[in-house]
Amino acid sequence: MLTPGGTPHRYPESPVFYRSLTRDYPLAVRGEGCWLEDADGKRYLDAVGGAFVANIGHGVAEIGAAMAAQASRLAYVNGTAFTNEAVEGLAERLVARAPGLGKAYILGSGSEAVEAALKLARQYWIERGAPTKHKIIALAPGYHGNTMLALSASAREHYRAYWREWLVDVHRIPAPYAYRCPCAGAGDCPTCSGSALEAAILEEGSDRVAAFILEPVGGSSTGANVPRDDYLRTVRDICTRHDVLLIADEVLCGAGRTGTWTAIEQWGVRPDLLTLGKGIGGGYAPVSALMASDAVVDVIARGSGYLMHAQTFSHHAVMCAAGVATLDYLAQHRLVERCAQVAPAFHRALARLRGLPGVGDVRGHGLLAAVEFVASPDSRAPFPRSEKVAERFTRAAQAAGLIVWPNVGQADGTNGDLAMLAPPFIITEAEIDELVDRFTVAVHATFAAPSTA
């Protein structure tokens, strides 16, 4: 594939520092609804919204128009000197959708929002007069971002290995991952019931633990894993009793992806801090948010008076305008409700993938799902990492005109292969059937051919 000037879309011919330096890239030139098209006219069903982002679909002209209108009036002011209409409007809409979380701090990516949330948790305890509370507890598997504090809270060893000496120590407890837990999500298992959190807090000492961070519904690290019904209520109660902040990272699973605005609200649980990203801008601009309860923000207001997390492009007017337009579009077209309505058909169709070669589990919630590949469905043994099954499948899917998201390492920190699905909320049942058909083609292509890894 060549650029208009004749340069191939690959390293080292192109000046772009690509996400991968070992492949050619097709040139995407347009998108509409659930579909993307490259410069050769090939169409791809975007089954994961790029990276769990394009929830309202591609090519919605209203969002670009709102951004252009804002940019023509006021593109940028620094948040230390001014506020702006767009950030006020976005914060107002976010707060209205998340009762009990009265303030929203607007940033540009999920990693930034998580970084700010963890910093806020630490600053909160210092300014409340409890400076010994600094430890973070997180889940394994789990993922919260690529900035250094967010990466410290993450459990992706293949990411962490390079930066281990730069990361802070985080206490990990096993994620409630029923497919790979001996209890299969039943009984008094400390992992799946949530009681493992209390043991971890007691081990560290509650006077040293600042926060517990989790994804209420798993992202790519556990493949859309859904905890059992009592889990989130249990960990909320444990955090309350031990005076530990509960941080819900909903960068991936929030913004309507599971059929309600936040995933955690489905269990009647309110976190102290909440992060959102990806879908709140629909892919039209990079925008994320840290949301905090008034109880937390009031401590900062009475103390230092500001969050010690300054970023040049926080509260940016144009990206906030994209967020306002996206949230209004979601509301006007009742797309979160549509996500909930179409989800049963989505999961019924995905069930047809069970029994295909290499498929161990198909799971998810709302319009978020994962297919876990295993060497043995009976033992659930993962493929060796050396076979690069997730990467091979992703290439086969793209060749079949289907975009998915791979993840690796969830089985034991090294081995394990997933393909994630998170289509736009506008997907039709006919497109769902097409998704499953193309996925099936990619499965057969992956497991019919010998590995070249």
**pLDDT for the residue numbered 5:** 47
Structure tokens at 259: 């059929």
For the residues of 121-147, what is the DSSP string, one character each? Answer: HHHHHHHTT-TT--EEEEEES----SS
pLDDT at 231 over 90: yes
Specify if 170 maps to a domain: yes
High-pLDDT (> 70) share of the chain, %: 97
* Total number of domains constituting the chain: 2
Specify if 18 maps to a domain: no
Q: Tell me the whole-structure pTM to 2 decimals.
A: 0.96
- In our burial notation (b when 16+ CB lie closer than 10 A, e otherwise), range 34-46 reads bbbbbeeeeebbb
Residue 371: strand, helix, or coil: strand
Specify if 14 maps to a domain: no
Q: Is 262 exposed, middle or buried (0-12, 13-18, 19+ CB in 10 A)?
A: buried
* Strand locations in 239-358 (E): 245-250, 273-276, 288-292
CATH, residue 121: 3.40.640.10
Tell me: do 194 and 86 sit in the same domain. yes
**pLDDT for the residue numbered 310:** 86
Tell me: do 442 and 298 sit in the same domain. no
Give the number of other CB atoms < 10 A from CB of residue 22: 7
- Order of all β-strands in the sheet with 288-292: 103-107, 288-292, 273-276, 245-250, 209-214, 135-140, 171-174
End-to-end Cα spacing for the chain: 23
Tell me: do 298 and 360 sit in the same domain. no
Of 284, 315, 332, the domain-final residue? 332
Specify if 393 maps to a domain: yes
Tell me: do 121 and 161 sit in the same domain. yes
Tell me: do 42 and 189 sit in the same domain. no
Q: What is the pLDDT of residues 126-162, one digit of tens each?
A: 999 999 999 999 999 999 999 999 999 998 887 788 9
Specify if 309 maps to a domain: yes
Give the number of other CB atoms < 10 A from CB of residue 230: 13
Of 310, 332, 354, the domain-final residue? 332
Tell me: do 171 and 208 sit in the same domain. yes
**pLDDT for the residue numbered 62:** 97
Amino acid at 22: T
Cis status, amide bond into 141, omega within 30 of 0: yes
Of 277, 305, 332, the domain-final residue? 332
Specify if 166 maps to a domain: yes
Furthest-apart CA pair in the chain: how many Å?
64
Tell me: do 112 and 261 sit in the same domain. yes
**pLDDT for the residue numbered 449:** 61
High-pLDDT (> 90) share of the chain, %: 93
pLDDT at 88 over 80: yes
Tell me: do 441 and 324 sit in the same domain. no
Tell me: do 242 and 109 sit in the same domain. yes
Tell me: do 236 and 276 sit in the same domain. yes
Q: How far is the C-alpha of 300 from the C-alpha of 450, rounded, in Å?
A: 58
428 CB-side CA count, 13 A: 5
Confidence of residue 186 (pLDDT cuts 50, 70, 90): confident
Specify if 5 maps to a domain: no
Rama region for 416: left / alpha / beta (φ>0; ψ in -120 to 50; rest): left
Confidence of residue 452 (pLDDT cuts 50, 70, 90): low
Residue 419 forms beta bridges with which residues? 371, 406
User: Which 8-state DSSP code applies to residue 46?
Assistant: E
At which residue do the structure tokens 């144009």 appear? 318
Tell me: do 376 and 320 sit in the same domain. no
- Quote the crossing angle between the two packed helices 195-204 and 231-241, to the nearest 10°: 30
pLDDT at 451 over 70: no
**pLDDT for the residue numbered 160:** 84
Q: What is the pLDDT of residues 34-57, one digit of tens each?
A: 999 999 999 999 999 999 999 999
Range of the domain at 230: 62-332
Tell me: do 250 and 385 sit in the same domain. no
Mean pLDDT estimate for the chain: 95
pLDDT at 103 over 70: yes
CATH, residue 344: 3.90.1150.10
User: Which 8-state DSSP code applies to residue 71?
Assistant: H
Specify if 9 maps to a domain: no
